[in-house]
């Protein structure tokens, strides 16, 4: 799998309550609280894009954008494709089972 590359940390300073959860969970010590008790990415070059900060923030105040992130519109189109594939797979499995049932009779 290709390694994700950081585009930017999007921090909503109004929503950040300075709890420090993201700072604590970041395995690379990328994040710190500033003098206003708001999170800042002080070492973005060390970020490995694990998104733990984003996943653990209770206030959705931090988002990790990577170069692989696709616009929401394209994402939903891709999801439709995946759904169609899954449906096609389910249909073909049913066919196989039906064939086997027939051969047993
Ligand atoms: S976990 Fe969220 S609210 Fe807490 S310091 Fe980090 S960004 Fe701010
Ligand atoms: S994505 Fe991972 S490495 Fe990067 S700031 Fe968040 S917790 Fe730290």
Q: Print burial letters for 35-58: b (CB count within 10 Å at least 16), e (below 16).
A: eeebbbbeeeeebebeebbbeebe
Tell which CATH architecture fits domain 6-66.
2-Layer Sandwich (3.30)
- pLDDT mean for each 10 residues of the chain (105 residues): 87 98 98 98 97 98 89 60 52 51 49
Establish whether residue 28 lines the binding site of ligand 2, counting it when its CB lies within 6 angstroms of any ligand atom. Answer: yes
pLDDT of amino acid 34: 98
Report domain extents, the chain. Answer: 6-66, 70-105
Give the mutation target among 10, 32, 42, 47 for probing the ligand 2 site: most ligand atoms within 8 A of CB: 47
Contact 78, 23 (CB under 8 A): no
**Roughly how many angstroms between the first and final C-alpha of the chain, as a whole number?**
46
Smallest CA separation from ligand 1 atom 2, residue: 57
Which atom of ligand 1 is the closest one to the Cα of 19?
Answer: 4
CA dist., res. 29 & res. 14, Å (int): 22
Smallest CA separation from ligand 1 atom 3, residue: 16
Instruction: Give 91's strand partners.
Output: none
pLDDT of amino acid 68: 81
């Amino acid at each position: 799998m290709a390694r994700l590359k950081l585009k930017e940390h999007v921090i909503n300073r109004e929503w950040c309550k300075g709890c420090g959860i993201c700072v604590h969970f970041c395995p690379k010590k990328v994040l710190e609280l500033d003098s206003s008790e708001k999170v800042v990415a002080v070492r973005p070059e060390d970020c490995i894009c694990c998104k733990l900060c984003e996943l653990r923030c209770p206030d959705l105040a931090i988002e990790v954008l990577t170069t692989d992130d696709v616009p929401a519109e394209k994402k939903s189109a891709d999801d439709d494709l995946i759904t169609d594939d899954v449906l096609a797979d389910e249909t073909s499995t049913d066919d196989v089972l039906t064939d086997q049932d027939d051969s047993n009779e």
